[in-house]
Copies of this chain bind each other. A is one copy, B any other.
């Protein structure tokens, strides 16, 4: 028996998200099915980030256990032949048997893209949020600075989530604008349900001059979902990378 880690990339457009659902096809379900076929045993992956319906990933991470003889680093190639075009495995590798990616200290990087123009180019419709109101990026950067650090992000958590500890640490928020595309890159040690999308919805309110940047302080202090801005749509969001601490020491990756 060995434990294998995979880095998974997907176009989330046609899926109901990572997690197995009754009402649609999920990334997890496709991976379980295709891995089980390939390795000829019942495989259940454990994913690190349960991305929402329509959200994309460049580097989500999952682990699974297998008795198969196939070398772990060859599994990605064998799987990519079987997987549909919108899900691919970037890399596969053996990790220590006791390695659990949700119990190890890690960071995640998400990118949220906003197409800020009066006209939405059709090829961008599944990969960015369309916002025709001009956004003031400088004001958004000021507001984002108040989100960086260790805070109780309860105001930025969907009420549907049943989480006790809502304290998380945001390491950085980098907002760039190239042409009409605004990119918001967020790095943190963990994120609550819908947290990035509510952060982006709040930053957009600032960009539209509906909130002052300083209002973010009050929103955090309120610890109430109603205090923050709306949940930005899923299509703009991509899980870029998940990194694990002390990776070299543990020889995990």
Contact = CB atoms under 8 A, between A and B. Distances in A.
Interface string A30-49: 00000000000000000000
A203 to B, nearest CB: 23
A132 to B, nearest CB: 12
Nearest to A10: B122
5 contacts: A58-B121, A87-B122, A88-B121, A88-B122, A90-B119
Give the bracket for the number of chain A residues in contact with chain B.
Answer: 10 to 19
A177 interface: no
Contact of A56 (B88, B119, B123): B123
Contacts of A120: 88
A122 to B, nearest CB: 4
Nearest to A126: B123
Interface of A: 9-11, 56, 58, 85-88, 90, 119-123, 125-127, 238
Nearest to A83: B122
Contacts of A125: 11, 85-86
Contacts of A86: 122, 125
Contacts of A11: 122-123, 125
Contacts of A56: 122-123
A9 B121 contact: yes
A79 B10 CA distance: 33
A171 B126 CA distance: 34
Contacts of A119: 9, 88, 90
Contacts of A87: 122
A118 to B, nearest CB: 9
Contacts of A9: 119, 121-122
A81 to B, nearest CB: 13
A185 to B, nearest CB: 14
